[in-house]
Amino acid sequence: MKQLLLQSDRHAVRTIVRSKERFHQVVPPNDLLQVTEASVLSMDDDSFLSCIDGCDAVGICLGHNGTFQGIYGNPRYLVRDALTRVCNAIETLKPEKKMKVVLMGSILVDNPDGSDPKRAFRDRLVISMIRALVPPHRDNEAAAAYLSEFIGKDNPNIDWSVVRPDGLVDGPISEYIVEETIHTEGLFGTSSTTRSNVAHFMADLIRNKELFEKWLYKMPVPTNVMIK
């Protein structure tokens, strides 16, 4: 949200958050910022549609709470179901021009179109274990598949991109590169992506028409440039 406000060119920004209090500890109130405190899956249809109506783009950064209930309890498919609700709302609104949907995914998720290089056996084994033991990973896979296979490239109302950061770390905005596929060095390499760089890239995708067109219907992988 900070990056969107910095890049907004005086355009309004809306957000739905679980807690206004916690949100404003990070992002101060702003006359361009409209904050709705709610659960995306529990909002009534009219309230949810009003949050989407008139927007040029929707960025989705939902994740499961890191508690036992958050990981193993309901909703098991928080991200996919929220994404589905967003897309259904856009379909209902039928905007004059296509609305962008930018989803934050994970490097652990393969592109459903098969364009990623085949992972090493060790990586495939680890991901299979994560898929079996950590339900949020299945949620991330389902969300990517929903955009790739259900929304696809011919939807009259929705354009999309899925950002797949490498191992997330804290840190300031720094130099980063964006690649089209997963890294050949595998899951046990030294690559990482700061949350700030992910935010910067997602905001760029939303605001920069040429950049979004470059990554349209793709699943880019932003990675920090390692300083030697």
Is there a domain that residue 26 lies in? no
Asked whether residue 188 carries a pLDDT value surpassing 90, the answer given is: no
What pLDDT is recorded for position 8?
Answer: 63
Q: Is the pTM higher than 0.75? A: yes
Is there a domain that residue 81 lies in? yes
Write out the two tokens for 214. Answer: 């470059």
What confidence tier does 173 reach under pLDDT thresholds 50, 70, 90? Answer: very high
- Write out pLDDT tens, residues 26-65: 999 999 999 999 999 999 999 999 999 999 999 999 988 8
What confidence tier does 183 reach under pLDDT thresholds 50, 70, 90? Answer: confident
Q: How many domains does the chain have?
A: 1
Is there a domain that residue 7 lies in? no
The CA distances from residue 182 to 92, 189, 207, in Å, are 34, 12, 25
Least confident span in 6-10, 90-94, 148-152, 211-215: 6-10
Is there a domain that residue 101 lies in? yes
**Residues in contact with 175: Cβ distance below 8 Å, sequence separation at least 6, in sequence order:** 224, 225
Is there a domain that residue 76 lies in? yes
Work out the average pLDDT over 94-118.
95
Is there a domain that residue 10 lies in? no
What pLDDT is recorded for position 128?
Answer: 94
Q: What is the CATH number of the domain that holds 172?
A: 3.40.50.720
- Residue 177: φ, ψ to 5°: -115, 160
- Write out pLDDT tens, residues 129-145: 999 999 999 999 999 99
Closest of 220, 80, 49 to residue 147, by C-alpha? 80
Is-contact 36 16, C-beta < 8 A?
Answer: yes
Least confident span in 36-45, 130-139, 179-188, 204-213: 179-188
Is there a domain that residue 25 lies in? no
Is there a domain that residue 83 lies in? yes
What confidence tier does 66 reach under pLDDT thresholds 50, 70, 90? Answer: confident
Average pLDDT, the chain: 92
**Residues in contact with 85: Cβ distance below 8 Å, sequence separation at least 6, in sequence order:** 40, 41, 48
Domain interval for residue 157: 38-224
Q: Tell me the percentage of the chain whose pLDDT exceeds 90.
A: 81
Write out the two tokens for 77. Answer: 């498919």
What pLDDT is recorded for position 69?
Answer: 84
The SS3 assignment for 96 reads coil
